[in-house]
Every structure is written in C-alpha cells, then in structure tokens.
Structure 1
Amino acid sequence: MQKDLETRFLSDFETNQNIAHKICRIYTTNKDAHNDLFQEITIQLWKNYPKFRGDSKFSTWMYRVALNTAISLYRKSTRRIKTQDISDFAYKIKGHEYDDTEEKQLASLYKAIHHLNDIDKALIFLYLEDKPYKEIAETLGITSVNARVKMNRAKEKLKNILNP
C-alpha cells in the first residue's frame, strides 16, 4: 500500500515538478532560497499526498499546496525556511535541471512581481500559467468574481510598477 502510494506520488510529482520550480522562482531571489523552498514544497506535497482525493487535477492541488507553502514561509518575519530531511526518498525523484532560459527573458516582469504582496503574486502566477478564473479561484479558495476583481487590481499594480 505504502509502495503504491509512493509510486503514484513520484509519478505525479515528476510530471508536474516545474510547477514547484516556477513558484520558487516567483517567491525567491537566489538559488539557495529556490532550492530550500523547492525542498519544503516537496515535503509538504509528500506529507499531504495521502489526503489528495482526486476531486481536482493533481496539478491544481499541487498549485494550492505549493502556493500555500510559499506564502506561509515568506509571511514569517524571520523569512527563514525550516526544512526536513527528505533523504529517505529524494534519491528516487528523477530531477531535471531547471531551464530558466525563458524565465530570463521575463526578468523585468519577475522583478516587478517581487514587489507585489503574496496573494497578488499567486494570482499573477496562475494567470501567467493560463489558468481559467474558476481554477484560480479554486486554488486560492475564493470566488471566481473575487478572483477577477483581485486580478484586475494586481494587473494595475504591475502596470504601475513596470511603467512608473
């Protein structure tokens, strides 16, 4: 039973691990912080995987867990990440080097995104991932109407940051 759960998790995670990398890119500013946050997201996903019921797509659930992890860690005033050892199963994850070529082209946008608050960052991230408002609302635990209103406000903030 545990082996089957682990196999399913590894398969789902490996298929969708770029989600975690992209969230790390938005919420961190250096490679060490990126790696620490990625590890913490991985731990939280593994700890919560038995609770994943399949009511939504794995990727939607992963967005929610990863964003909640990133937001909660970076809201703390110490901004220090407490990690746990995942060496027991980390060797089983077939990691691939994160290719940030496309991300470098968007450097000014990401720099602007870093100036937004945590919720606006999550909204913009999901928007950039071409998620429909219904899925954005589900991921963030708000209504679709509220997601649209918050998105318009976040876009306006970004415009003001990019074009002062």
Structure 2
Amino acid sequence: MEGVLTGKTRNPLREHCQQLLQEHRGIVLKVANLYGRGVEDRRDLAQEICAQAWKAFASWDAARPFPTWLYRVALNVAISHARAGGVRTVVAFDELDVEPSTDGEAQRENDDGVRRLYRCIERLGPLDRALMLLYLDERSQREIAEVLGLSETNVATKIGRLKIRIRQQFGA
C-alpha cells in the first residue's frame, strides 16, 4: 500500500542488490582505487562497476559467494577501462550508490609503505594488478582462479613471480 501512496513500488531485486553492494562496497572501492586515475575517475569507475553489477545481478547464482561474483564484475569493468585508456562513457546510476566507509581503513592506506606498494602495483598490467589485489585481499588461489578464469596452478605461478618483481621494485 505504501508504494501505491508514494508513487514508488517496492523492487525486492533492486533492494537485494543494493544491500549486497553496500555490504561489499570495499570490493568496489578497492578496484576503483586501483584502476582509476584521480578522485573523479575513481568515483566514476565505482559507479560504473555498480551499474554493471546491477545489470548482471540476475545472472548471479545465489548458491555461489557474492564477493567472488562481484570481484569478477568489478575487475572486468576495471580491466576494460584500463585497456581503453580510461576513456569511456560514464554511466549515471545514482540509485545504486556505494559510499566509502568511514572506518580506519582509509587511515591504514595512508601509511607510506602501503602507498609504495600501491605505486608498484599500479605499474603492473591490468591482469597482474587484479591478481595482486585479490592476493592482498587474502582470497584463496581457488577463488582468484575462479574470478580471473585461470587455473589454480597458473595463479600460484603468477603470484610467485609478481612477489619477486614487487620485492625488486621495493628494493628489498
């Protein structure tokens, strides 16, 4: 009745998607921060990720973990963005807005060592960046393989090589 009175009808699918995106907003923000250039580009990329997640939400199999599916969507959008040189049409999709968290996560990311690590990661190619993001987010090799469409053996090999390359860049 309330929807009829206010002119708005309840959309349980949109509400469910919005709730899950809000619960897992850290994934969207991490990917946007790693692949975006500057504040506005990162905000636009986060919005585009949310828009694509909403468009593809009906394809999510609820028997599978939502974070794995969201990482796959977010990284596909971000890698496409990176390959296109960052030029794309911005999707205006404010109904599924994802606000940054106000917890201590932002403070930890200001640490000099973390900034140096992110600078090293930003120099990597799009797929290697995705690998490191998932690895640093403590995702299992199985989940990384599923998100990126690689074998677990390939994931382990690539992560090992990336660790060596990053250590060399860090000068450690």
- Amino acid in the other structure paired with 1:84: V
Deviation at 1:81, TM superposition (A): 2.8
Q: For 1:72-100, what per-residue CA distance to the aligned partner results, in whole angstroms no more than 9, with x for missing partners?
A: 111014x213112214x24xx47345652
Q: TM-score, normalised by structure 2?
A: 0.86
Mapped pair 1:3 → 2:11? yes
Paired residue type of 2:74: A
2:108 to 91, 102, 108: 102
Identity of aligned residues (%): 29
Whether 1:39 and 2:38 are equivalent positions in the alignment is no
Residue 120 of structure 1, CA deviation: 0.9
Q: 1:153: Cα distance to partner? A: 1.2
User: More deviation in 98-107 or 115-124?
Assistant: 98-107
Is contact 1:24-1:70 (8 Å) kept? yes
Q: Which runs of 5+ in 2 are unaligned?
A: 1-8
Matching residue of 1:85: 92
Corresponding position: 1:151 with 2:168: no
Task: Name which of 82, 102, 123 aligns with 2:131.
Answer: 123
Q: Which has the larger radius of gyration?
A: 2
Give the number of equivalent residue pairs.
160
Aligned counterparts of 1:102 and 1:108: Cα–Cα separation in 2: 13
CA-atom RMSD, angstroms? 1.9
Within 2, Cα distance between the matches of 1:116 and 1:96? 25
Q: What is aligned with 2:68? A: 60
* TM-score, L = length of structure 1: 0.90
Q: Distance in 2 between matches of 1:74 and 1:45?
A: 18
In 2, are the aligned partners of 1:36 and 1:81 still within 8 Å (CA)? Answer: no
- SS, match of residue 142 in structure 1: coil
C-alpha distance in structure 2 between counterparts of 1:43 and 1:118, whole Å: 21
Shift in Å, 1:132: 0.8
Query: Alpha-carbon deviations, 1:132-159, whole Å to 9, x = none?
Result: 1011101101110011011111112211
Displacement of 1:2 in angstroms is 7.6
- Go from structure 1 to structure 2 and tell me whether the alpha carbon gap of 1:94 and 1:141 turns closer, same or farther (over 3 Å shift): closer
> Retained in 1: the 8 A contact 2:145–2:152?
yes
